[in-house]
Amino acid sequence: MREKIYGLILKSDKRNLSYIYDIFISFIAVFSILPIMFKREMYPFLHMERTAVIILALDYLLRFVVSDYIIGKGRLSFLIYPFTLGAVVDFISILPFGRIFRAFRIFKMLRYMDIFVYIMQVYKRVRRVLFTTLLIALSYIFVTALFMFNAEGESFSSFFDALYWATTALTTVGYGDIYPVTCLGRLISMITSVFGIAVIALPSGVITANIIKEINKNDDTDAE
């Protein structure tokens, strides 16, 4: 019985019911997001929400029941599965604590898209590089914020403001609501911005190159 459940919810194949199941769950996930696109909670949306939560919670439960098939580590899989990325997102999406949690349901649909599969495969391959880059970026933000906070004492009311500025500067967003006004502060901003470009470009290049490689590999496999 559990093997049949596993085949239904995880072995996506256009030739059997698993493909229909994927489409159904994706539709429910997307359809249940419609209510949070409106400011007011309308009465029909209440029934939509309850129905969606029941279906998505049942999907989460079915996945948990076949955790040993998914993880492949016997009974230990039932302890590991709830902490996997997909399971955490699924659990958050059915929490009744607020509208923001419902937005996570969009990932239910994304997990069935080819590009999301490619991204997950790429992540497994280059996660060490990405983790190292993340540490570099966080260190960059902290050090930059530290320098700027002490150079621009009047422009930043708290260290959190400096962290906010450093983050927007690193990502080249630069909202413009907080910025340096002294010569020293602007010099620090110029220097850190140049180095920030390299920090952002590194993971972008790694991810893009590996996604293209993964797509080409799957295209070659399909051609065979």
Could you tell me if 41 and 67 lie in one domain? yes
Give 60-106 pLDDT, tens digit per residue.
Answer: 898 888 888 888 888 888 899 889 878 888 888 888 767 788 888 88
Can you give the CATH number for the domain in which 157 is found?
A: 1.10.287.70
pLDDT cut 90: percent of the chain above it: 1
The per-residue pLDDT of the chain, averaged, comes to 79
pLDDT cut 70: percent of the chain above it: 85
Could you tell me if 90 and 183 lie in one domain? no
Could you tell me if 180 and 104 lie in one domain? no
pLDDT surpassing 80 at residue 160: yes
What is the structure's pLDDT at 142? 92
Q: With a threshold of 0.75, does the pTM exceed it?
A: no
Could you tell me if 74 and 123 lie in one domain? no
Give 92-142 pLDDT, tens digit per residue.
Answer: 888 876 778 888 888 777 766 666 666 667 777 777 877 888 888 889 889
pLDDT surpassing 70 at residue 184: yes
What is the structure's pLDDT at 220? 57
Could you tell me if 120 and 108 lie in one domain? no
* pLDDT band (50, 70, 90) for residue 11: low
Could you tell me if 19 and 101 lie in one domain? yes
What sign has the CA pseudo-torsion 102, 106, 111, 116?
A: negative
Q: What is the 3-state secondary structure (H, E, C) of 88-149?
A: HHHHHHCCCCCHHHHHHHHHHHHCCCHHHHHHHHHHHHHHHHHHHHHHHHHHHHHHHHHHHH
**Of 82, 112, 142, which marks where a domain is finished?**
112
Give 169-179 pLDDT, tens digit per residue.
Answer: 887 676 667 77
CB 91 within 8 A of CB 81: no
| 8: Cβ contacts below 8 Å, ≥ 6 apart | 17, 18, 21
Residue 30 domain boundaries: 2-112
Could you tell me if 147 and 102 lie in one domain? no
What is the structure's pLDDT at 219? 60
